[in-house]
Structure 1
Amino acid sequence: MNFEERDTYGMYKRHAGESEGPGPRLMGANTLMGNDVYNEKEEDLGDIKEIMLDMTNGQVAYAVLSFGGFLGMGERLFAVPWDALKLDTENKRFILNVDKARLENAPGFDKDHWPDMADQTWKDEIQSFYETGRSAEQQGQQTHH
């Protein structure tokens, strides 16, 4: 199911010649839950189960992606930095530039054992894996130059 199918308030409906509504630049978090995530090779990587907000700065920090398993059994969850995802408005899904085989080795967790997402070491590991953001060490080096 994609964001247009989850649009209970009609915010994405467009009529001929109209440009009203939030559009793809501003979207409701609930409408993004369950959206498919593919890579650039058209491989299905799973779907978005949750969106994690950083309450200290009001920014979206991670999308929690489900991958693997069968009918919810053996499913692994992955916290993907929000800036690693790109919205594909044409196909109404997200693109994550990671090979499926590489994702199988990503730092993940199961639904009963969530990591401490506020831990800086964990954040650095995730950002390094997905090659997003800057680690705390890089930020420290930049401030000392």
Structure 2
Amino acid sequence: MNYEERDSLGIYVRGKVLEGKIPPQGPGPHLMGADTLLGNDVYNTQEESLGDIKEIMLDMRSGRVAYAVLSFGGFLGMGEKLFAVPWSALRLDTANKRFVLDASKERLKDAPGFNKDSWPDMADTTWEKGIHDYYGTRPYVDPGR
């Protein structure tokens, strides 16, 4: 399911056709409702499915999105592994209505992950550094931290 299909508030409704063009209405894709992004597919640059977004983690100190929690593997929720992917490692593909992560399936299989019953301490700076190092991103530095 993609963000347009999850849009219960009409955030991404398109306008009327004017002179052969459909002008966008609403805030998307520059501002998007977090709930509409849950369940969105994530693909890699090789067009392989990597899973979908299960949760979006907000850094309440900075007011920024820190991570998307991605599910990968398993069957019908069994054996599913969860990954915290830095938000900056994802790119929204508006043409295909999905996210893109520049990582192969093999790389994701080896990524630091967790299961739904054992979440990591995402506020731990050592854990944070390891995740950002793995995906080649830089953490947002909050000057008040």
TM-score by structure 1 length?
0.91
SS at match of 1:25: coil
Higher helix share: 1
In 1, distance between residues paired with 2:133 and 2:49? 22
Who is 2:130 aligned against? Answer: 125
Deviation at 1:134, TM superposition (A): 5.0
| Superposition misfits of 4+ residues, deviation over 2 angstroms | 16-20
In 1, distance between residues paired with 2:85 and 2:110? 13
1:128/1:135 contact within 8 Å kept: no
**1:87 to 2:92 alignment:** yes
Deviation at 1:19, TM superposition (A): 3.6
Matches within 5 A, 1:1-145: 1-15=1-15, 16-17=17-18, 18-133=23-138
Residues 55-75 of structure 1: CA deviation (Å, up to 9, x unaligned): 001000000000000100000
In 2, distance between residues paired with 1:39 and 1:134? 21
What fraction of aligned residue pairs are identical, expressed as a percent? 67
In 1, distance between residues paired with 2:24 and 2:96? 20
TM-score by structure 2 length?
0.91
Deviation at 1:23, TM superposition (A): 1.7
Question: Aligned AA for 1:24?
Answer: P
1:127/1:135 contact within 8 Å kept: no
**Paired residue total:** 136
SS at match of 1:124: helix
Structure 2: tracts of 5 or more residues without a match: none
In 2, distance between residues paired with 1:19 and 1:53? 27
In 2, distance between residues paired with 1:114 and 1:25? 30
Deviation at 1:14, TM superposition (A): 0.7
Question: Aligned AA for 1:7?
Answer: D
Alpha carbons of 1:63 and 1:134: their partners in 2 closer, same or farther (altered >3 Å)? Answer: closer
In 2, distance between residues paired with 1:133 and 1:13? 34
In 2, distance between residues paired with 1:41 and 1:51? 24
